[in-house]
């Protein structure tokens, strides 16, 4: 969500990986992004053509959204919910650049266009590199897009493009190397399938060899209706859960915008498993400890204290997750801007 293009997101990921690589003595003199290819998939343009029209608040939002060609009729209860959500958003620019994307993805036919774009890019990349060498990373709204696309591509439903082409992948022959969910909101926006019942999981029943989540305690967006599978043998077997599922909970703060993808990637708890999977980077203990010291030297105690104070009473509820997501985003944006930073 926000004004991100495929190129701008690629640049932010690349810059953060380069900065992270600079923490390690063995990587400091090279550009680590030369060791892997970044294949960005953007969908800002799909939403952009509708933003100006929908941002004009003369009519209720549900009526404006229902006018999008191909969108199914919106039930009255859902329309009331959409209109109530709009009333929560007091910042017009924030509404247009961030939350319209969320609402358009969750409630309109545009979501299928977004999923098709990712599915096509994924199929091309798998054909070129082999599925075991493909590692998928989603951030924020992108985690819902990643989950839903993989759930359809690897599930019983057929994804059909405008030209009639089908996008269907096999968990056996097209199993991904890994899936990385950063600030995972897939449960908040789940629609056609329960995220705990989908093939987006590690192991024999899933589409990926490893499934990793990253959640910052001071990122309020990531705290809304989190995806928290348990080691009870239902989602995946006990062995797979322990060996192929990771939830990294972060606490260190290096910038006010704890939700930013760059803020996540700079943290060793995020980039070390990513580098391990991308180019088998396994630094020795001494190098890891030295890198950690360099990272912790960048942390901002004052920022962390302000964030803790701002969100210590934030208790999101499952039954009103979308509203809580909006409130969390608005509050974080205001705090980030109070530090003189941009919330993108």
Place of tokens 């760059």: 262
Give tens-digit pLDDT for 194-222: 999 999 999 988 999 999 999 999 999 99
Mean pLDDT of 229-257: 97
Q: How far apart are CA 112 and CA 153, in angstroms?
A: 12
Pick the more confident residue, 117 or 96.
117
Percent of the chain with pLDDT strictly greater than 70: 92
Q: Do the Cβ atoms of 179 and 171 come closer than 8 Å?
A: no
Query: Residue 71: its pLDDT value, please?
Result: 66
Q: CA distances (Å), 144 to each of 8, 37, 194, 204, 321, in order? A: 19, 23, 12, 22, 14
Q: What is the mean pLDDT of the chain?
A: 90
Q: What is the pTM of this model?
A: 0.93
Q: How far apart are CA 67 and CA 56, in angstroms?
A: 13
Whose CA is closest to 182, among 259, 124, 234, 242? Answer: 259
Per-residue three-class SS string for 227-292: CCCCCCCCCCCHHHHHHHEEEEEECCCCCCCCCCHHHHHHCHHHHHHHHHHHHCCCCCHHHHHHHH
Structural domain boundaries in the chain? 6-338
> Per the structure block, which two tokens stand in for 56?
């004009």
Mean pLDDT of 61-84: 73
Q: CA distances (Å), 134 to each of 37, 146, 242, 272, in order? A: 10, 13, 22, 17
Pick the more confident residue, 104 or 51.
104
Per-residue three-class SS string for 284-323: CHHHHHHHHHHHHCCCCHHHHHHHHHHHCCCCCCHHHHHH
Give tens-digit pLDDT for 303-312: 999 999 999 8
Q: Where are the alpha helices (DSSP H) in 100-246?
A: 100-107, 110-129, 141-153, 238-244
Query: Residue 203: its pLDDT value, please?
Result: 93
Kindly indicate the confidence band of residue 265, based on its pLDDT and cuts at 50, 70 and 90.
Answer: very high
Mean pLDDT of 81-92: 71
Q: Do the Cβ atoms of 88 and 327 come closer than 8 Å?
A: yes
Q: CA distances (Å), 342 to each of 5, 89, 169, 255, 256, in order? A: 17, 18, 39, 11, 9
Residue 78 has pLDDT above 80, yes or no: no
The neighbouring-strand residues paired with 217 are none
Place of tokens 């967006």: 221
Give tens-digit pLDDT for 159-176: 877 777 788 999 999 999
């Amino acid at each position: 969500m926000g004004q991100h293009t495929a190129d701008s997101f690629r640049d932010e990921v690349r810059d953060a990986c380069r900065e992270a690589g600079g923490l390690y003595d063995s990587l400091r003199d090279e550009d680590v992004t030369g060791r892997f290819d970044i294949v960005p998939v953007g969908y800002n343009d799909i939403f952009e053509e509708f933003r100006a029209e929908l941002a004009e608040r003369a009519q209720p939002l549900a009526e404006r959204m229902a006018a999008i060609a191909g969108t199914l009729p919106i039930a009255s209860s859902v329309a009331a919910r959409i209109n109530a959500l709009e009333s929560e958003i007091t910042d017009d620019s924030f509404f247009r650049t961030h939350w319209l994307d969320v609402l358009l993805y969750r409630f309109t036919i545009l979501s299928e266009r977004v999923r098709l774009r990712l599915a096509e890019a994924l199929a091309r990349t798998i054909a070129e590199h082999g599925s075991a060498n493909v590692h998928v990373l989603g951030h924020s709204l992108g985690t819902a897009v990643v989950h839903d696309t993989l759930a359809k591509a690897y599930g019983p439903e057929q994804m059909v493009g405008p030209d009639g082409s089908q996008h269907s992948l096999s968990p056996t022959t097209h199993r991904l190397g890994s899936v990385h969910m950063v600030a995972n909101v897939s449960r908040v926006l789940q629609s056609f399938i329960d995220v705990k019942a989908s093939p987006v999981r590690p192991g024999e029943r899933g589409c990926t060899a490893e499934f990793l989540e990253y959640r910052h305690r001071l990122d309020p967006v990531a705290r809304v209706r989190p995806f928290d599978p348990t080691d009870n043998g239902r989602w995946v077997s006990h062995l797979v859960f322990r060996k192929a599922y990771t939830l990294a909970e972060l606490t260190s703060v290096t910038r006010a915008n704890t939700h930013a993808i760059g803020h996540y990637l700079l943290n060793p708890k995020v980039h070390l498993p990513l580098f391990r999977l991308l180019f088998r980077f396994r630094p020795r203990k001494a190098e890891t400890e030295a890198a950690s010291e360099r990272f912790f030297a960048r942390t901002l105690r004052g920022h962390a204290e302000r964030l803790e104070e701002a969100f210590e009473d934030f208790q999101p509820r499952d039954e009103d997750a979308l509203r809580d997501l909006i409130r969390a985003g608005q509050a974080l944006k205001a705090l980030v801007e109070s530090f003189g930073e941009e919330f993108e």
